[in-house]
Structures are given as structure tokens and as C-alpha cells.
């Protein structure tokens, strides 16, 4: 699909009785002005077909600048103002391409795209180009010629012929302006703006502005080059003088500090028995070079830094550490609170690494989950369990190849990569290195950074990893690398298939409370110098903080809110040492202020056209109330609530299935023709997508068409096919937890998701009733739609509400102490 980018300039379009329609050639690398002759190479099938059609007709076509390019299958853009051009010649070029010579004739405006295949065709409108009679025009032309003359003197790309060409055309201001725009090297966007400027005085003013910027930019560049050259000449002169000084000192027989340092390094190299022979040979060579260098030269400092680094690296060859898997499991269970499935996967990976004789083909361990879901905590637990030092590197420090592999020593200020620095600091190659926030590496401007990182962490390649600064192979296979990323979809395919993915789905409310009690609170007590008698937390207070002051899958915000409370209490302790504070459900707002989030609550009574769905979000699970309404119309289905394409298709499938089951549900088939249906998902500011609301939407459609309320004490999730099959969904643990928090203890799930319930906390699994379905028909058979249209209608609901209200008013008038019989509800 092709879009025309409207010009922000005022265009004097001319009206015509006949519509002019011509083929359009998108120009991506250049702009042709009226009166200019240019040759372009074309090779796309559509453009070749366009040239064949034009050559057999009147040789006329329109050239339009396409700023975003024309990509197959993508939405392309054309500029509204283009140039009517004539094809002068078409000659064969390399392959199937053609060299086409075009002559610009005049400006035209595109009004509409008529077709886009096999090539673009658009309708045109002529532009009423005014003749210039402005008295300032000559002055502007003279200023442009002066600026161009200055530009010719500064920039070697231009010759004196440029000024001569402009002098010839200065009698015709419009042609003059177009010639300047075509000759001077300007941005394509600026050239297009010149083309769109129809008013000649305005066009000349804009060209003057661009020329002044160009002259200023080139002048600044020349000044910078001169300064750099002067600096380089000074360095060469200083180096020459230092070399002469060294020769003079040598003739006089004076002692050299450089020779002393050289002997000092050679002694260190000889004393270091752990150095491999190749490394020792290289270091001796570098140490010998020191005596021939001046201590004030850059190369001397670089060589000294290199020797210091190499001698500080741990070259000892140690045996692979052995660990007892039973003890490893105990330590991980103690240090990390999380899913058993996650722990099992990690233990299996460590077992294979321990027992395998060849680890080259092992995959790379990768933790995937939202921020605060315990990725780093789990890696720390692994490090402690297997007895290796833990090193943590952030992806923001690994966004270029130089960050990973270091700089070449020939560059000024060169240094090793971040991995070598970490090894030097740790003093060992036997490490657990956690590379977190890998999305920064994936999204970095340096596309080779990810390939360099793969060379570091992949066991197939890292046994002889070469840092550019070190220049010698290093054995990184002794390091256990663990990657951390928010979403695994961000990894490109060549990298993703090498990963052993450990998914961290986030914590539910009960898990957050347990982690807060076991890990977060003890740490905060120690950090703030408080005791449990000075500050107490009830479980209800923690629950309220989680529900009303956080909205996340992890624990970052929870810890931040708890730290606020600790800081307030610590400050109060300074003025009142004997004070005791107890945090309960009632006084949380005194410490944290007004609640920041209002959790979704279950409905209080059955309603027609309202069902409770379940959604997975980046912050965990949540209820999703789905509303429906029918009204007189023509059978259309409307949906609102910032929905994605998958969810829209799911609504259509659910509607079609219910319509096909109309007779079973007691719905008149004509209602689907005489009524419109509106499905709405509240909280429209939040984008929603996915197929898991299909079963809930089916229930809503059936409810509004049959005028039967939906039970308010159940929640439903499941994808629906056009034949009514209910397919599995993701995020079951989070969805069930959301329903449990809201007080809904009956949940309908797809049959295929029965296996996912083993990861639920025991309290939720024990108290919640699960109903598994394979077909939408089972939804209606389970009695989720209450009553029948003949016995329970909207009118009856309203009548009962009025009657109940009257009864309450009468009861209020009776004397105190007199018992009144409560009227039983029809429900």
C-alpha cells in the first residue's frame, strides 16, 4: 500500500476538466529538478515494467521522492510534489537492469494513487507557478552567487564551472534556483523542500539559508583539520627531540630508568612459574622493548600497562571444580525461593556440566524473565552452591565490539575488554559470570557486538578467546557464563538456538510475601540498624503493600516501598529510641501515602453481558472484565478497548460460533441480523492482544443475545476456534493467582492446561475449584448462564431492585427492637 506525503507548503493547484494520470517512478537516491538531465539505474521488476510501458507510449512519467524507500510488501511513501519528466534513452546495464536518462520538465502534484501493481500510477494536478516580479530577487541571486563562490574556494568537490553555470542562468530566477539545488551537495530532504517551494522569492531565501549552513560547516571542518595537523606535527617533533636526547645520554654513558624497569619486568616474568611458554616469550620481548623507548612516550606507557595486566592475570591451570549435587541442591533451596521446575532445570544443567567429559557442545544457560523476578538471585545461589566466585556484568557496558574484545594496542588509550578486566579483578578464571540486561547488547548500534559476545560465551569457541589488547589466546571455557534477558524473543535466531532457556515467570502474591519475610526484611533490618521489636510487619500489611503500592511481576518496587518504611522508622528512632512501630493493614497509608493502584474486584451479582476473564501482563496476572451490549442495528459486531489483531479475530470467531449455536441457546436467528453487538474491554489506555479471551467473549455474546445473566463467581480463559474447540493458553499460574486475590474460587480452564496446575501454591490449589473444558458448548452446559429468558429478564431485575429498596425503607420506619422478616430474594 502506498501513501502520499502531503506537502506542508501552500500548493497553487490548477483545476482541469480532464484527469491526468501517469506512471510514477519512486526516487530514493536523488531528486531531479525541472530542466535537469540525470541518468539513473533501475532494476526492480515493477520499475522495468514501468519503463517498458512508458517507452511504448509518450515517454512521459512522474518522478517522486520516496523518503522511506519502496520495500516489497511494506507500506511505502511518495512525496506529493514531483517532477514531470521525459525519458530520453533507455540502455541495458549489468544483469537485467537498465540505465535510463531522464529530463525534468516541470513541477506537478500527486493527488491520488490509482494503482500500485505492477507499478505505481497516480493522478496529477498542474501547479500554477507565478512569474517572479519581486524587486529583491536580483539582490538574492547576487548573494547566492557570492556564497557559492566562497564554497568553491573552500570545498575541492566544486570547480569554477559551477559559478560560471549560475552566471549564465541568473536572468531566469526559477531556473537559477533549481540549478543551484541540483549542483550543490545538499540533503535529499532539503532538496525536496526546495522542489515543494513554488513561490520563487521564498525558494531563493531557503537556498541562501542552506548555503550559509554549508559554508559554516565546511569552514569549521577545515579549522579542526588544521588543529589536528598541528598537533600531529608537534608530536613528531617532540618524538624526534626525545630520540636525539636518548642518543646523547647513551654517548655520555648515563644510566637509563627505562633499562631498570626492563630488568624489573624480566625478573617478574622469570619468577612467575605459572606463565605458559608462549606468554612468557611474548612478555620478555615486550620487556626488552622498554629499554629502547623513552619513558615520556605514549608507547612506553602502553607497553608498561600491557606488562602489568599480563602479569596480574591468573595463569595457573587448575582442575575443574568438583561439587556434590546433593549439597548443591540444598544450597540452592536455601538461597533461592522459586519454582521447583526452575530449580530442577538448573540442577540438571549443572549435573551434565559436572559429568560430561567434553563441554564444548553444551548450551549456554540463559535466565529469561521480567525485572526483579530473581534471575540474579538464582545465579548467585548457583555460584555459592558450586563454590565459584560470582561476577556480575551489565549489558550496557557490552554494547560495542571493543567493550567485549578490547582495543588494539596501537590505539591511543587502548585497554582490554570488560571480560578480561573482570578476570583480573577476580584473580581467577574459575568464575560464574552473569551477563544481565542482554537486551541492551541486542539493540546496540554495533551489530557485531552480539557476534563478539557469542564468541565469548559459546563453549565451542571460547577455549581460545583472543582479546584484541592481550593479543594471546585465553581459556574462557573454565568460566560458567549465564545470560539474563527480559524477553527471549529479543534474541536473534543464530544465538537463540544455542541457549538453555530457564524461564522466570514472575512471583504471585503468596510467593512475594514469603520472599519478603525470608530474604528482603532480614536484609533491610540489618542495613538500617533496626530490630524486629522496633518495627513489626503483619502479613495483612505486606499483602496491602503488594496489592495497592506495587504492580510488577518481580520484587523491585516491593523492596523500594519497604525501604521507604524503614527510612521513616530509622529517622524517628533518632529522636525516640524507645519507640516501637507496628505496620498493620490499617496504618500502611501513614507510611506510604495514598494507595497507587486499585486492584480489580469481582462483581457482586450476576449481570447480563458481563463476564470475568483472566489476563497475563508483564506485572503478573489480572482480572479482565469483558462487557457486551446489543442494540437495534444491522447485525454488525463492534469492539473497543485498544485491541490487537489477534484479539479482534478471536471476537469474530466467538461470535460466529455462538450464532451457529443460536437454536441450542434459545436465541432467535433474526436477532443476529436485527441487532448490533458491541464488545468492550475496559481500561482502553492499555493495549490488549492474544487469543485467550475467546471463551469469555463467547459467554458474553451468548448472554446478551439470550438475555441471560452470567455467574459472577467464576472466571474463564481459553482460546476458541471457529468449530468451538477450546485451546490451551499461557500464564495459567499468574491468571489463577489473580482470580484468587479477587475472591473468585471457581475457574474454567482449557483441558490442555490441566498439567500447568502442578506449579500452583498449595493454598490456592486447595481452595480453588477448577473446571476443565474442551468445547465452548460445555460452558453453557455448566450452568454459567443463569435462568431463562422467560423467567428472568432485565425488567425483572430492575423491578426486584425497586421492591428491595422499598422494603428497606419500610424497615427503617419500624420501632427499634421489633423484628422484621427478611424477604427472600428471587435469586
CA diameter of the chain:
124
Question: What gap in Å lies between CA 465 and CA 456, rounded to an integer?
Answer: 7
The answer to whether the beta carbons of residues 138 and 74 sit under 8 Å apart is no
Answer yes or no: are the C-beta atoms of 457 and 364 closer than 8 Å.
yes
372 in the Ramachandran plot: left (φ > 0), alpha (ψ -120 to 50) or beta?
A: left
Q: What is the CA radius of gyration of the chain?
A: 38
Q: Which of 739, 662, 655 is nearest to 700 (CA)?
A: 655
Q: Which of 130-134's residues contact partners 24+ apart within 8 Å by CB, and which partners?
A: 130/12, 130/198, 130/199, 130/200, 132/173, 132/174, 132/200, 132/201, 134/200, 134/201
DSSP string, 468-536: TTT-SEE--TTSEEEEEES-GGGS-HHHHTTEEEEEE----HHHHHHHIIIIIHHHHHHHHT--TTTEE
Rounded Cα gap, residues 173 and 150, in angstroms: 20
Sign of CA dihedral 700, 701, 704, 706: negative
Select from 108, 120, 98 the least CA-distant residue to 39: 98
Q: Catalytic one among 692, 698, 703, 737?
A: 692
CA 710 → CA 103, 220, 496, 706, 787, distances in Å?
A: 71, 74, 44, 11, 9
Going by the DSSP 8-state scheme, the letter that residue 320 receives in this structure is P
Closest to 462 (Cα-Cα) out of 450, 476, 452: 476
Nearest in space to 507 (alpha carbons), one of 280, 738, 666, 300: 738
> How far from 81 is each of 88, 187, 204, 572, CA to CA, in Å?
22, 17, 18, 70
- Looking at the DSSP bridge assignments, the partners of residue 82 are 108
Secondary structure of residue 588 in the 3-state scheme: helix
State the Cα–Cα distance between residues 176 and 35, nearest whole angstrom. 10
Element of type H or E holding 35: none
| Gap between the Cα atoms of 364 and 343, Å rounded | 16
Show the cell assigned to 339. 519454582
In sequence order, the 6+-apart residues with CB closer than 8 A to the CB of 98 are: 41, 42, 43, 48, 51, 90, 91, 92
Task: Report d(CA 232, CA 236) in Å as an integer.
Answer: 6
- Residue 78 and residue 2 in contact, taking contact as beta carbons nearer than 8 Å: yes
**Which conformational region is residue 452 in: left (phi greater than 0), alpha (psi within -120 to 50 degrees), or beta?**
alpha
All 3 cell numbers of residue 321?
A: 571444580
The catalytically annotated residue of 368, 733, 735, 737 is 735
Task: Examine the residue annotation and report whether 735 is marked as an active-site residue of this protein.
Answer: yes
Name 626's Cβ contacts closer than 8 Å, sequence gap at least 6.
610, 611, 612, 613, 679, 680, 681, 693, 696, 697, 700
Cα–Cα nearest to 24, from 101, 80, 89: 80
For residues 400 and 446, the answer to whether their CB atoms sit within 8 Å is yes
Residue 310: closest CA among 465, 474, 476, 481: 474
CA distances, 368 to each of 449, 457, 488, 616 (Å): 20, 17, 6, 16
- Return the SS3 of 37: strand
Active site residues: 692, 735
Amino acid at each position: 500500500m502506498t501513501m502520499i506525503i502531503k506537502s506542508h507548503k501552500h500548493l497553487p493547484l490548477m483545476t482541469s476538466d480532464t484527469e491526468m494520470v501517469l506512471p510514477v517512478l519512486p526516487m530514493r537516491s536523488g531528486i531531479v529538478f525541472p530542466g535537469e538531465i540525470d541518468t539513473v539505474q533501475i532494476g526492480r521488476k515493477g520499475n522495468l515494467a514501468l519503463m517498458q510501458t512508458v517507452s511504448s507510449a509518450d515517454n512521459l512519467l512522474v518522478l517522486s521522492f520516496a523518503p522511506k524507500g519502496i520495500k516489497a510488501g511494506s507500506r511505502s511513501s511518495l512525496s506529493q510534489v514531483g517532477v514531470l519528466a521525459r525519458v530520453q534513452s533507455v540502455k541495458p546495464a549489468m544483469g537485467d537492469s537498465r540505465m535510463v536518462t531522464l529530463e525534468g520538465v516541470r513541477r506537478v502534484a500527486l493527488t491520488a494513487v490509482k494503482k500500485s501493481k505492477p507499478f505505481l500510477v497516480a493522478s496529477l494536478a498542474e501547479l500554477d507557478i507565478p512569474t517572479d516580479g519581486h524587486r529583491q530577487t536580483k539582490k538574492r541571486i547576487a548573494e547566492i552567487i557570492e556564497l557559492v563562490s566562497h564554497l568553491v574556494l573552500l570545498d575541492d568537490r566544486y570547480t569554477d564551472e559551477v559559478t560560471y553555470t549560475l552566471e549564465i542562468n541568473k536572468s531566469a530566477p526559477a531556473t537559477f534556483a533549481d540549478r543551484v539545488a541540483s549542483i550543490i551537495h545538499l540533503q535529499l530532504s532539503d532538496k525536496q523542500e526546495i522542489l515543494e517551494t513554488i513561490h520563487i522569492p521564498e525558494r531563493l531565501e531557503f537556498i541562501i539559508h542552506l548555503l550559509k549552513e554549508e559554508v559554516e560547516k565546511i569552514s569549521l571542518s577545515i579549522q579542526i583539520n588544521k588543529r589536528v595537523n598541528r598537533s600531529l606535527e608537534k608530536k613528531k617533533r617532540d618524538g624526534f627531540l626525545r630520540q636525539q636526547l636518548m642518543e646523547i645520554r647513551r654517548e655520555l654513558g648515563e644510566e637509563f630508568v627505562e633499562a631498570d624497569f626492563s630488568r624489573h619486568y624480566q625478573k617478574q616474568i622469570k619468577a612467575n612459574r605459572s606463565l605458559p611458554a608462549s606468554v612468557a616469550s611474548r612478555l620478555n620481548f615486550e620487556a626488552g622493548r622498554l629499554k629502547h623507548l623513552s619513558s615520556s612516550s605514549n608507547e612506553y606507557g602502553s607497553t608498561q600497562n600491557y606488562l602489568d595486566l599480563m602479569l596480574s592475570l591468573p595463569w595457573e591451570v587448575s582442575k575443574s571444580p568438583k561439587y556434590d549435587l546433593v549439597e548443591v541442591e540444598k544450597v540452592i533451596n536455601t538461597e533461592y525461593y522459586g519454582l521447583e521446575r526452575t530449580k530442577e532445570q538448573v540442577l540438571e544443567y549443572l549435573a551434565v556440566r559436572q559429568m560430561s567429559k567434553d563441554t564444548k557442545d553444551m548450551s549456554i544457560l540463559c535466565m529469561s524473565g521480567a525485572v526483579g523476578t530473581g534471575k540474579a538471585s538464582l545465579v548467585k545461589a548457583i555460584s555459592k552452591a558450586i563454590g565459584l566466585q560470582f561476577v556480575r556484568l551489565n549489558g550496557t557496558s557490552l554494547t560495542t565490539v571493543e567493550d567485549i574484545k578490547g582495543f588494539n594496542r596501537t590505539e591511543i588509550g587502548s585497554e582490554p575488554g570488560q571480560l578480561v578486566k573482570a578476570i583480573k579483578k577476580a584473580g581467577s578464571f574459575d568464575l560464574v559470570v552473569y551477563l544481565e540486561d542482554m537486551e541492551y547488547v541486542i539493540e546496540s548500534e554495533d551489530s557485531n557486538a552480539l557476534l563478539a559476545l557469542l564468541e565469548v560465551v559459546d563453549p565451542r569457541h571460547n577455549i581460545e578467546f583472543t582479546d584484541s589488547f592481550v593479543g594471546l589466546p585465553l581459556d574462557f571455557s573454565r568460566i560458567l557464563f549465564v545470560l539474563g534477558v527480559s524477553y527471549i524473543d529479543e534474541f536473534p535466531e543464530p544465538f537463540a538456538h544455542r541457549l538453555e532457556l530457564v524461564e522466570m515467570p514472575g512471583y504471585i502474591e503468596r510467593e512475594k510475601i514469603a520472599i519478603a519475610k525470608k530474604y528482603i526484611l532480614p536484609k533491610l533490618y540489618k542495613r538500617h540498624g533496626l530490630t524486629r521489636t522496633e518495627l513489626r510487619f503483619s502479613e495483612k500489611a505486606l499483602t496491602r503493600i503488594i496489592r495497592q503500592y506495587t504492580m510488577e511481576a518481580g520484587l523491585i518496587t516491593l523492596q523500594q516501598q519497604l525501604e521507604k518504611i524503614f527510612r521513616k522508622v530509622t529517622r524517628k528512632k533518632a529522636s525516640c529510641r524507645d519507640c516501637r512501630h507496628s505496620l498493620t493493614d490499617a496504618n500502611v497509608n501513614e507510611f506510604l501515602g495514598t494507595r497507587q493502584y486499585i486492584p480489580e474486584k469481582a462483581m457482586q451479582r450476576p449481570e447480563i453481558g458481563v463476564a470475568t476473564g483472566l489476563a497475563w501482563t508483564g506485572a503478573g496476572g489480572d482480572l479482565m472484565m469483558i462487557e457486551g451490549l446489543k442494540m437495534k442495528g444491522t447485525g454488525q459486531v463492534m469492539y473497543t478497548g485498544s485491541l490487537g489483531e489477534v484479539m479482534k479475530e478471536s471476537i469474530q470467531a466467538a461470535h460466529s460460533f455462538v450464532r451457529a449455536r443460536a437454536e441450542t441457546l434459545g436465541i432467535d436467528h433474526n436477532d443476529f441480523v436485527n441487532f448490533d453487538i458491541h464488545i468492550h474491554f475496559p481500561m482502553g489506555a492499555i493495549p490488549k492482544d492474544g487469543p485467550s479471551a475467546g471463551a469469555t467473549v463467547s459467554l458474553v455474546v451468548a448472554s446478551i443475545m439470550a438475555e441471560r445473566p452470567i455467574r459472577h463467581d467464576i472466571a474463564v480463559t481459553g482460546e476458541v476456534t471457529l468449530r468451538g474447540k477450546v485451546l490451551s493458553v499461557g500464564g495459567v499460574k499468574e491468571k489463577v493467582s489473580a482470580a484468587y486475590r479477587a475472591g473468585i474460587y471457581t475457574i474454567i480452564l482449557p483441558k490442555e492446561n490441566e498439567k500447568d496446575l502442578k506449579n500452583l501454591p498449595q493454598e490456592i490449589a486447595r481452595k480453588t475449584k477448577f473446571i476443565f473444558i474442551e468445547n465452548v458448548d460445555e460452558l453453557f452446559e455448566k450452568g454459567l448462564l443463569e435462568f431463562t429468558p422467560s423467567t428472568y429478564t432485565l425488567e425483572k431485575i430492575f423491578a426486584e431492585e425497586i421492591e428491595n429498596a422499598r422494603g428497606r425503607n419500610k424497615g427503617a420506619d419500624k420501632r427499634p427492637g421489633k423484628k422484621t422478616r427478611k424477604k427472600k430474594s428471587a435469586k
